A and B are shown apart, each in its own frame.
Chain A
């Protein structure tokens, strides 16, 4: 099949950037979206032009490196699918495909389609952990966890930290990410001692990093490649209000 690509090219953080058109023939429907971009990049290198920079690694939907806005949707039109797992059979011969980076105030563009998502790391560093030094753990079966709770924690833990939620949100909010990360630990008995501190520290950090607040658009859930539910945002809000009433906002 043939496709017409319109790709955002931006040479650096301070460059203005623009959409550039590329025509690609010989695209196989079995290719992944990134394999299609590989072919474009190989052609560009042979022509002596700089290839399109985009992040990717595992190409099996788990590392969270990839993330492009494809035809206006973070990770493309297919629900519950990362960019690397999107295949060309989902497009038609002759399609126009628009490819842009994740756009969010807290994700500055580094080059072309590559953005800086280190704000997510800093939110996690603020409180996304259980303080358990190696060596101090009791026998694993000494902590009983009901299956439904363990399953729910796992639903939250499936988050791959790709940033699609913030990119999809009209407010540039990272609430779904922070909710998934805090809820996983706040649901589990091991996470209880630091529950109040965790949720406040992570939310404070999220705001400091420049992410917006949630006003229930639910675009995040629609864009999430791991189908993380917005109900975790409700849980985080409950955790947060409870914690603030008890201990105030300041950590």
Chain B
């Protein structure tokens, strides 16, 4: 299969504006005749649904939540990047573009990233117009903060709940279109399959979570904005219901899954406290602006942090990366934490934690300034751990947070299946092998507000696709298969719960496909995942029926997909025999233990084609050509 990114030619700063200038728009009077299905109502999906409706398209939006406002974008804390250069500190579209490509360790598609940087400024304008209450300076101008991986202040924020405020902005725009009758909202409906007729995505099958009933919906285009797959690891910062089902089912229908092994581990999360743990809570990376990360210099030093004198502490990020210090990118900070803990210098009862200390900042700036900046995060920390971070250093440890991989898309954000678009975290395109902080919100909104509305215009400009009725055999077949699978899960009647299997899958993933990976471990993982999947299908226990609200069935259905998807992730990690960004293969490291890229052999996007459960998927490569950026070692020293 030849993968064509459909990237326009010409100077990079002109590509997007030329693309828009060249597209043949749909007549405004005809737009209502085009029906678009949008799955997911986070920043990308909700933003796209609202914007497409503003343009006049007939939009049907779906979420498995009770309300579009609950999408997991809401939990993003720290901020959103934009190349506004309001701080006059030398920022520009080019610098944001460069930082993002470099942050991704040169494994993203240049033109997509440039476009992202280009529209970033419009996102802030739009959010402010909607009433998003970003932080302001006394003069009334917008405030900025710094984030990991950048030497300029370009991050806009709304206290420690920027994702919430941006999502509420999206939700308000969506509400307006719902009230105008332009968006039909389908709450509590979970997508279980995408329907393909003659190579084109023509609709979806969804399950009504209240009645268990399957429904078919036709769309002239289908947009997946269903987030990432960090919950493959069971413990992650993702919400409980986040899952891979929508994108994985599309993959099983022929969409290519790109770079699944690029999974980001966030350095600042609250450490695991016990077996009962259901999720890990992130402490925003913005805390690293003022907090200093350290562990005791001596192995096994179990004194209280206050009793350890300054010269017996190792501020290891400041020591190893003097220019970026505590703001070194996420993957580098995470691995550094793992390294010091593996040396036996970790703190906390488990030995898997490091300190994030605010005492210097509180002394320098006063408690009030710190409270203004991070108050809600400090409260959250105290609520979860029972420890007051104003008087004790926080304890943090890395956790699974974000997934850069996703369905393969071209410059139009269309997958290899015609009419199937993929946005936000669900696609692979902009963050390469590692995402910089405050860039997820930027990408979600860029895709939803600015990119898709134009690329879908270009797609529909070629003519109205032929409507396929929902009694078409392909729709019926997809409904029957979705029902049969649920019946099959119920029929197992074994002895263990879906959560039990999910937890065990997560343990395999964290142990062998986690922060540091190697060939032997990955092969073990593939074997163990296969065994666990067998056991799952023989020993799963479900209670209740399918014709009612049944969280056990919902969970089992999602875990069943994780069981297959985990193997794909491990195959990709095995195939990518280099270290880059968040993907760290211990066989490939520099003398200082940094990731060692291999551009000669691995400068490509790995796009996988489904070949059956348990069978090795087929690899297709999209070569990455860097025309404008010179590939360099990714140094933050």
The interface of chain A, by Cβ under 8 A from chain B, is 12, 28, 30-32, 34-35, 38-39, 42, 44-46, 48-51, 53, 55-65, 78, 80-81, 85, 87, 89, 110-111, 114, 116-118, 120-121, 124-126, 128-141, 143-147, 150-151, 153-154, 157-158, 160-161, 184-185, 188, 190-191
Contact = CB atoms under 8 A, between A and B. Distances in A.
A63 B384 contact: no
Given A85-B384, A134-B453, A161-B67, A154 B141 contact: no
B273 A30 contact: yes
A164 B338 CA distance: 41
Given A45-B552, A59-B239, 8 more contacts: A30-B274, A57-B70, A58-B239, A62-B161, A121-B175, A129-B130, A132-B130, A134-B50
Contact of A130 (B172, B278, B500): B172
Contact of A85 (B173, B380, B548): B380
A157 B449 CA distance: 22
A55 to B, nearest CB: 7
B412 interface: no
Nearest to B541: A45
A151 B157 CA distance: 12
B133 A57 contact: no
8 contacts: A30-B274, A44-B543, A85-B380, A118-B66, A124-B171, A124-B172, A130-B131, A158-B159
Contact of A132 (B129, B142, B495): B129
Interface stretch (B106-114, B120-128, B455-463): B120-128
Contacts of B279: 59-60
A44 B497 CA distance: 10
B497 A154 contact: no
B165 interface: yes
B133 A58 contact: no
Highest count of chain B CB atoms <10 Å: which of A31, A125, A131, A184 = A125
B552 A188 contact: no
A151 to B, nearest CB: 8
B276 A55 contact: no
Given A65-B66, A141-B86, A141-B142, A134 B449 contact: yes
Main SS at interface, chain A: loop
B122 A158 contact: no
Contacts of A151: 133, 136
Contacts of A185: 131
Given A63-B70, A118-B67, A57 B239 contact: yes
A116 B56 CA distance: 31
Nearest to A161: B69
Nearest to B76: A62
Contacts of B276: 28, 30-31, 35, 38-39
B544 A137 contact: no
| A-B complex: 5 closest residue pairs judged by Cβ atoms | A144-B140, A137-B129, A129-B172, A137-B125, A132-B129
A46 B128 contact: no
A3 to B, nearest CB: 14
Interface in B535-575: 541-544, 548-549, 551-552
B464 interface: no
Interface of B: 50-51, 54, 65-70, 72, 74-75, 84, 86, 122, 124-131, 133-142, 158-159, 161, 163-165, 168, 171-173, 175-176, 178-179, 187, 210, 239-241, 273-274, 276-279, 281-282, 379-380, 383-384, 386, 449-450, 453, 495, 497, 499-500, 541-544, 548-549, 551-552
A239 B291 CA distance: 42
B84 A140 contact: yes
A114 B276 CA distance: 23
A154 B141 CA distance: 15
Contacts of A131: 176
A9 B450 CA distance: 47
B129 A136 contact: yes
Contact of B161 (A12, A31, A38, A158): A158
A129 to B, nearest CB: 4
A150 B163 CA distance: 17
Contacts of B136: 145-147, 150-151
Contact of A157 (B133, B379, B499, B551): B133
Given A39-B276, A121-B175, A129-B175, A111 B499 contact: no
Contacts of B187: 118, 121
Contacts of B139: 144
Given A38-B276, A129-B172, A140 B239 contact: no
A91 to B, nearest CB: 13
Given A51-B551, A59-B278, A141-B86, A125 B67 contact: no
Contact of B66 (A111, A116, A138): A116
Given A134-B450, A157-B165, A120 B172 contact: no
A124 B54 CA distance: 18
Given A59-B279, A140-B84, A191 B161 contact: no
A111 B209 CA distance: 12
A194 B541 CA distance: 54
Contacts of B163: 62
A157 B164 CA distance: 9
Contacts of A125: 175-176, 178-179
A45 B497 contact: yes
A190 B128 contact: yes
Contacts of A139: 125
A246 B282 CA distance: 48
A99 to B, nearest CB: 16
Contacts of B84: 140-141
Nearest to B237: A60
B21 to A, nearest CB: 15
Contacts of B239: 57-59, 63
A184 B125 contact: no
Nearest to B493: A48
Given A63-B70, A147-B140, A154-B158, A38 B129 contact: no
A250 B306 CA distance: 63
Contacts of B67: 117-118, 120-121, 161
Contact of B549 (A53, A118, A126): A53
B65 A42 contact: no
Contacts of A12: 548
B129 A150 contact: no
A153 B133 contact: yes
Highest count of chain B CB atoms <10 Å: which of A50, A60, A137 = A60
Highest count of chain A CB atoms <10 Å: which of B133, B163, B497, B552 = B133
A161 B274 CA distance: 31
Nearest to A150: B136
B280 to A, nearest CB: 10
Contacts of A157: 133, 158, 165, 168
Contacts of A150: 133-136
